[in-house]
């Protein structure tokens, strides 16, 4: 089932620049994603189309092992698109002629009843194998700071953060799993999956 891109807020990457910094907020919410992107070669009208995206809300879910049919998600993602139409983003059979120097996505989000993980693919439908993903918990504000970074990704299809808000699922009934996740966050205040040298902040 292809993702319903009508739920997402998109912004195009600008042409003829070597670097951009931008913030995308999911329409009608206070959920925002910060993007820092550098290119080896500036984008032109002939470049493969990529869009920055953000979404916070509920989406349909099909699964044989769960009774949940609507899940609540928070997502930041840089997505490959087949055309300028937002609905073309995330479709497979993709190729790319864009040379990224680096991509960084950051967000500061509630940690309670939530979980977050990296979500990446190349145009061969394989996950990226060299990137940095770090979560740092602020126990006072009950927020988590997410930082995801990659250098020189090749054949990029998607690069982003996928988050779940378990208590907003429909039907209800994920409270126990959510409590376990919050406990883990309280014990481990910084979890980093580091597959390459992280950037200097």
Tens-place pLDDT, residues 39-84: 999 999 999 999 999 999 987 765 544 555 788 899 999 999 999 9
pLDDT in tens, 82-116: 999 999 998 877 889 999 999 999 999 988 889 99
Higher pLDDT, 134 or 198: 134
Mean residue pLDDT across the chain? 82
Q: Are strands 70-81 and 156-165 parallel, antiparallel or unpaired?
A: antiparallel
Residues 6+ apart with CB under 8 A from 56: 26, 29, 31, 73, 74, 75
Between 190 and 19, name the one with better pLDDT: 19
Backbone angles phi, psi at 82, to 5 degrees: -75, -20
Distance CA 160, CA 179 (A): 25
Q: Which residue has the higher pLDDT, 136 or 180?
A: 136
User: Please, is 21 exposed, middle or buried when counting C-beta atoms within 10 Å of its C-beta (0-12, 13-18, 19+)?
Assistant: exposed
Contacts 24+ apart (CB under 8 A), 8-12: 8/53, 8/54, 8/55, 8/75, 8/86, 8/89, 9/53, 9/54, 9/55, 10/51, 10/52, 10/53, 10/86, 10/89, 11/51, 11/52, 11/53, 12/49, 12/51, 12/52, 12/84
Rounded CA-CA distance 7/141 in Å is 28
pLDDT-based confidence at 3, cuts 50/70/90?
low
């Amino acid at each position: 089932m292809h993702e319903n891109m009508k739920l997402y807020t998109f912004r195009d990457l600008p042409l003829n620049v070597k670097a951009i910094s931008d913030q995308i907020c999911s329409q009608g919410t206070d959920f925002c994603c910060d993007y820092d992107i550098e290119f080896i070669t500036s984008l032109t009208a002939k470049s493969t189309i990529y869009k920055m995206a953000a979404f916070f809300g509920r989406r349909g879910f099909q699964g044989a092992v769960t009774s949940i049919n609507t899940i609540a998600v928070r997502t930041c993602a840089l997505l490959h698109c087949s055309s300028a139409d937002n609905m073309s983003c995330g479709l497979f059979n993709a190729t790319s002629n864009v040379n990224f120097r680096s991509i960084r996505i950051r967000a500061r989000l509630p940690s309670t009843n939530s979980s977050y993980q990296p979500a990446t693919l190349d145009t061969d439908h394989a996950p990226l194998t060299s990137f940095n993903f770090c979560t740092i918990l602020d126990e006072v504000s009950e927020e988590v700071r997410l930082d995801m970074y990659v250098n020189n990704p090749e054949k990029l299809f998607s690069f982003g953060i996928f988050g779940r808000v378990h208590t907003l699922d429909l039907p209800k009934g994920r409270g126990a799993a959510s409590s376990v996740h919050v406990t883990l966050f309280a014990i481990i205040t910084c979890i980093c999956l580091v597959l390459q040298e992280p950037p200097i902040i």
